[in-house]
Amino acid sequence: MKARVHVMLKNGVLDPQGEAVRHALGAMGFDGVEGVRQGKVIDLELAEGTTEAQVAEMCEKLLANTVIESYKIEMGA
Amino acid sequence: MKARVHVMLKNGVLDPQGEAVRHALGAMGFDGVEGVRQGKVIDLELAEGTTEAQVAEMCEKLLANTVIESYKIEMGA
């Protein structure tokens, strides 16, 4: 089975990487890019029967820095 | 309007970051993690009327390295 985890910086946390992308897009002539936030996506291939609670524990302990990042789990088939 | 772009390494391209996460999860006692692929997620805040074709152009030119990475665009409201 699969699970996908999105890890994004929390709102209010400065995102220099996203800001750099926004600036670069503007410099390349893409108008109308008003904001960019960049995060991580982690695709996990898991043994059958792994629960969302277990994936949440992985996020809390390793995948996300919960002081500044939030995470969202999508369990797949 | 919003758009979300996922940038992942193509299948077959070695993903040392994902491999490191897989190894770390195993070392922390999470059994059954069979594979991990890590990519980027980029949330764009765009001017109204921006088309998916324009976002695809941003991906081709800046957001993804299309030699080794694939991207997927989700246009939001």
Per-residue pLDDT of B21-69, as tens digits, reads 999 999 999 999 999 999 999 999 999 999 999 999 999 999 999 999 9
Question: Using a CB-CB distance cutoff of 8 angstroms, which residues of chain A are in contact with residue B64?
Answer: none
Question: Using a CB-CB distance cutoff of 8 angstroms, which residues of chain A are in contact with residue B2?
Answer: none
The whole-angstrom separation of Cα A42 and Cα B40 is 8
Answer with the residue of higher pLDDT: B77 or B52. B52
- Could you state, in order of their start, the residue ranges of all structural domains in chain A? 2-75
Give residue-wise pLDDT tens across range A40-61: 999 999 999 999 999 999 999 9
Whether chain A has a CB inside 8 Å of the CB on B19: the answer is no
pLDDT band at B77 (very low <50, low <70, confident <90, very high): low
The dotted CATH code for A2-75 is 3.30.1280.10
Alpha-helical runs (H) found in chain B: 16-27, 52-58
